[in-house]
A = this chain, B = another copy of it.
Amino acid sequence: MTSCALDNSLTNIQWLGRMSSDGLSPSTVKQEMEKENQTPVQVEGIKIEEDSSAVASTSTSSWQDSISERPPYSYMAMIQFAINSTEKKRMTLKDIYTWIEDHFPYFKHVAKPGWKNSIRHNLSLHDMFVRETSANGKISFWTIHPDANRYLTLDQVFKPLDAGSPTSPEHSESQQKRHISELQKNLGGSSCSKTETQNARRKMKPLLPRVNSYLVPIQFPVSQPLVLQSSVKVPLSVAQGASLNSSETGRSSKRVRIAPKILSSEEPSPFLPMLPVKEESQCLGRKEKETKGQADHITGATAGDLILNPKEGRFWDPFRDEHLGRERVSV
């Protein structure tokens, strides 16, 4: 009822103490940073060298990893983590920024200021995020459309300290069997997929850790709109394990690894709280197989995916299409 206020506030910065040095001084950090579109890149003290070794270590999660490593989550996922961490399941833009910075130091110290632009972009673009106004109409809160909320929280993506996870032990591999089969080919060997868990005290479990330039789907039973303890504000100093595998271990600078959503095909996403799928399937995809491509969005339901995604039939979404760009016709 009232704990959300605590969770949202910008408290808990103890773990930030292990930063390079300052990092808290009002405006001394990032000298040259116009406003939100430049490239600070070099966070003063923190130097982020690329390439070099990078020999399929996957266990060299040193100090840097927890701060320079970009989290394996998409903006959409992080925004959900943030919002779902509150009791009322709503958060202001500023608090979303703060929550993300507090839980993923990468955005506080390494990312270019443009990451906030991306956050706003995601909030607007995805209809899943709905803006609501406080009773007095003074404050704007971002919420997650109830039909779309899977109540994902950061807690859920942390690997247990040992092995057997709360609900499902080690699914991290059971999913991609189907389609990945030979996809592994064009990737430089090293099939790693659950290789991380070693030195991690409570590593972040990538919802879809990458296998080289790929993502390894990980199971995730969300049986009920389970409202886990609003994310314990992870002592980030340990989080951030992420998924660095073999070749071209995605450091953080160039090559902003985009994480495609891998869908499990068949079975309408087990574990996930089945939502009232409107179903309609008017098939119009090329194969209907498991192409995921628009026609069978239902099957391919990623974590953030709304199950109700018949598309076509009806219920598609007309909206957001429109805008011909620069117009307002006439003649």
**Bound Cα distance from A229 to B264, whole angstroms:** 46
A320 within 8 A of B: yes
Q: Are B323 and A304 in contact (CB under 8 A)?
A: yes
- Asked if A286 meets B320 with Cβ closer than 8 Å, knowing A207-B325, A329-B207, A330-B172, the reply is no
**Bound Cα distance from A305 to B318, whole angstroms:** 9
Closest partner residue, chain B, to A310 (CB atom): B319
A263 within 8 A of B: yes
In the complex, what's the smallest C-beta–C-beta distance from A93 to chain B, in angstroms? Answer: 12
**Proximity string of chain A (197-222) to chain B, C-beta cutoff 8 Å, 1 when within and 0 when not:** 00000000111111000010111111
Q: Are A171 and B317 in contact (CB under 8 A)?
A: no
**Proximity string of chain A (110-145) to chain B, C-beta cutoff 8 Å, 1 when within and 0 when not:** 000000000000001011111111000100100001
Q: Are A322 and B148 in contact (CB under 8 A)?
A: yes
**Bound Cα distance from A157 to B328, whole angstroms:** 10
A218 proximity list for chain B (CB < 8 A): 327-330
Closest partner residue, chain B, to A222 (CB atom): B329
Number of A residues, CB within 8 Å of B: 89
A331 within 8 A of B: yes
A251 within 8 A of B: no
Q: Are B220 and A128 in contact (CB under 8 A)?
A: no
**Bound Cα distance from A220 to B328, whole angstroms:** 7
A312 proximity list for chain B (CB < 8 A): 130
Q: Are B328 and A128 in contact (CB under 8 A)?
A: no
Copies in the complex: 2
**Bound Cα distance from A302 to B325, whole angstroms:** 8
A145-176 interface with B by 8 A CB criterion: 145, 147-148, 150, 152, 156-157, 165-168, 171-172, 175
Q: Are B316 and A319 in contact (CB under 8 A)?
A: yes
A303 within 8 A of B: yes
Q: Are B328 and A286 in contact (CB under 8 A)?
A: no
A315 proximity list for chain B (CB < 8 A): 318-319
Q: Are B207 and A328 in contact (CB under 8 A)?
A: yes
Q: Are A124 and B294 in contact (CB under 8 A)?
A: yes
A73 within 8 A of B: yes
Binds B, one of A21-29, A75-83, A233-241: A75-83
Which of A148, A293, A301, A326 counts the most B-chain CB atoms under 10 A from its CB? Answer: A326
Closest partner residue, chain B, to A206 (CB atom): B326
A244 within 8 A of B: no
A274-331 interface with B by 8 A CB criterion: 283-286, 293-295, 297, 301-306, 308-309, 311-312, 315-331
Q: Are A327 and B261 in contact (CB under 8 A)?
A: yes
A interface residues, Cβ below 8 angstroms from B: 72-77, 80, 124, 126-133, 137, 140, 145, 147-148, 150, 152, 156-157, 165-168, 171-172, 175, 205-210, 215, 217-222, 258-264, 271-272, 283-286, 293-295, 297, 301-306, 308-309, 311-312, 315-331
17 new A-B contacts at CB < 8 Å, known A130-B312, A131-B284? A75-B325, A76-B325, A127-B318, A129-B321, A133-B284, A145-B316, A152-B324, A165-B331, A168-B330, A206-B326, A208-B326, A218-B329, A259-B326, A264-B328, A304-B325, A305-B321, A305-B322
